[in-house]
Structure 1
Amino acid sequence: MNIDGTLYGRDDARVSVFDHGFLFGEGVYEVLRTYGQRPFLFAEHMRRLRASADRLALSCPLSDEDLLARIRDTVAAAALPGDAYVRILLTRGVGEIVYDPAACPTPTLVVIVKPHVDPPVEAVRGGVRLALASVVRNHPGSVDPAIKSNNLLNNALAMQQAYREGAFEALMKNHRGELCECAQSNIFVVRDGVLLTPPTSAGLLVGVTRGFVLECAADLGVPAEECVLHETDLASAQESFLTSTTREIVPVVRIGAQTIGDGAPGPVTRRLMTAFAAAVPSRLS
């Protein structure tokens, strides 16, 4: 683990209780993974990190090049036997217990590295079930989901419902009742050969992997659209899958009480999974 440029072991790492990331949730984060110890889609993750930070009037103290070097140093120090899960946290920093950003002159930058864990093989081969969360995704006029914020209570409550129901993930609706995104991933469905995913206007975090999958779809000639989706649309979906940095593409075969298609991963999903794996080496840093 790396805190403001200093390496620590897991049991020795400490952040002040007066850090506004701890006190108020004032901070943003990104999660990357490595392939062959090299970060994947690093530039895209950094653009999103800085965009999230800008919405909080929070500055990152490092350039992309210096942050990449810090990640590489932390990954090397971890000496993992395989690939790494990398979590970057940028907070307002340490200050008095007030809301004034001026109370925190120096932001805190943490890099956490731990072993990457792939989704279970049976999930990738056979697909997974999603819970339909009763918790509504944050309204964009509240804590905007477009900010990848350290304040994750909304997501945590949705995932806790999924755990109680024995589901792999929680699919959330927005304040209008539209399907939005999952607690930890973006959602896609396939209908009549067209790849559909909720639009940014649904109030979601625009996933880096979501964007990469749309690139893969374009390369394959698979038509793709951003489309407002409702629970009733699931009955006409032939396929579904979710996407995230640490999971890549995971087929979805059931959402709530609705079986998707024939209840097995479909051909478009499989083609995209193959294309994803083939394209990874070209996007490593």
Structure 2
Amino acid sequence: MPVAVNIDGRLYGRDEARVSVFDHGFLFGEGVYEVLRTYGGRPFLYPEHMRRLRASAARIALECPLDDDQLLVRIRETMTAAALEGEAYVRILLTRGVGEIVYDPQACPTPTIVIIVKPHVDPAPDALAQGVRIALASVVRNHPGSVDPAIKSNNLLNNALAMQQALREGAAEALMENHRGELCECAQSNIFFVRGGVLLTPPVDAGLLVGVTRQFVLEVAAAVGVPAEERTLRREDLATVDEAFLTSTTKAIVPVVQVGDARIGPGVPGPITRRLMAGFEAAIPARLA
């Protein structure tokens, strides 16, 4: 698999890329990240991803030393080095940097910026045509007063544990509840439901990461005439919804036909999901960097 890695402006192959074990991103998980994908070789929703990267960094008192244009230059240099034949998956990691083994941010004078570029992999055609089954995770989403899920942190243990459960159950994703027992988000995606022709998604105050693709889907819904609202939902509501789908940068929209033991509607991707998938595709060209 062709992979290129950019560490603080220097390019490496997959096997040569190294970050110091004294980097606080490794020692303490002090860092944030974003994932982009390309269409036609151009990054999708780049300004939105950069705004979220900087907002996440600000929440941990970390400043990115590059502006958006400089970061885009590095991304494009890394994409060129990867020499991909198709679309790119781009992961940007910003960490506190190298320092002594102490919690004081002053110990790390220079943040580390890592860019990883590898081939983007689309969801399987069967997943889009037939929908997927996802698990209802027993792992509770981080309490916002602990590690706020609004921070897109490099420390992903909460998500990883939920996703490991899903994998053990043969599911494609893991839907997580918050500390109040409300449906929140998935381990790697945001979640949407349709009930009575209205698009529903958990509110931000449920304690979720505000997905860039989530917001784009809400914009698409408005453009194609699908009413949408944020709504507090619980597991018992799964029996009352007609459709469901998940959203993420790498997956776009993937229909969900079962959550845990609960079948969603008739168990096939629904008409509003299909309408939004078509609207999503049509809206992509106007949002490329």
1: CA distance, partners of 2:273 / 2:73: 35
Match of 1:240 in 2: 244
| Residues 112-136 of structure 1 deviation map (CA, whole Å, 9 limit, x = unaligned) | 0000000111001000001000000
Match of 1:190 in 2: 194
State, as a whole percentage, how many aligned pairs show the same letter: 78
1:165 to partner: Cα distance: 0.2
Residue 27 (1) aligns with residue 31 (2): yes
Match of 1:48 in 2: 52
Residue 86 (1) aligns with residue 90 (2): yes
Residue 107 (1) aligns with residue 124 (2): no
1: CA distance, partners of 2:25 / 2:258: 37
The one-letter amino acid paired with 1:111 is I
Match of 1:154 in 2: 158
| Residues 252-278 of structure 1 deviation map (CA, whole Å, 9 limit, x = unaligned) | 000011000000000000000000001
1:221 to partner: Cα distance: 1.0
| Residues 174-219 of structure 1 deviation map (CA, whole Å, 9 limit, x = unaligned) | 0000000000000000000000000000000000000000000000
The one-letter amino acid paired with 1:39 is P
Residue correspondence of structure 1 range 127-146 to structure 2 within 5 A: 127-146=131-150
2: CA distance, partners of 1:75 / 1:243: 24
Match of 2:12 in 1: 8
Residue 269 (1) aligns with residue 266 (2): no
Following TM superposition, the consecutive aligned residue runs of length 4 or more in structure 1 with deviations greater than 3 angstroms are: none
Q: Name the SS of the counterpart of 2:13 in structure 1.
A: coil
Q: Name the SS of the counterpart of 1:281 in structure 2.
A: helix
Match of 1:209 in 2: 213
Q: Which of residues 170, 177, 192 is equivalent to 2:174?
A: 170
* Alignment RMSD: 0.3
1:87 to partner: Cα distance: 0.2
| Residues 156-179 of structure 1 deviation map (CA, whole Å, 9 limit, x = unaligned) | 000000000000000000000000
1: CA distance, partners of 2:200 / 2:212: 16
Q: Name the SS of the counterpart of 1:187 in structure 2.
A: strand
Q: How does the TM-score come out when normalised to structure 1?
A: 1.00
Q: How does the TM-score come out when normalised to structure 2?
A: 0.98
Q: Name the SS of the counterpart of 1:252 in structure 2.
A: strand
Q: Report the count of equivalent residues.
A: 285
Q: Name the SS of the counterpart of 2:247 in structure 1.
A: strand
1: CA distance, partners of 2:73 / 2:59: 25
2: CA distance, partners of 1:23 / 1:284: 35
Please, which runs of 5 or more residues in structure 1 have no aligned partner?
A: none
The one-letter amino acid paired with 1:279 is A
| Residues 40-97 of structure 1 deviation map (CA, whole Å, 9 limit, x = unaligned) | 0000000000000000000001000000111011111100010000000000000000
Match of 2:260 in 1: 256
Q: Which of residues 56, 62, 75 is equivalent to 1:71?
A: 75
Q: Name the SS of the counterpart of 2:194 in structure 1.
A: strand
The one-letter amino acid paired with 1:197 is T
1:9 to partner: Cα distance: 0.5
1: CA distance, partners of 2:258 / 2:207: 23
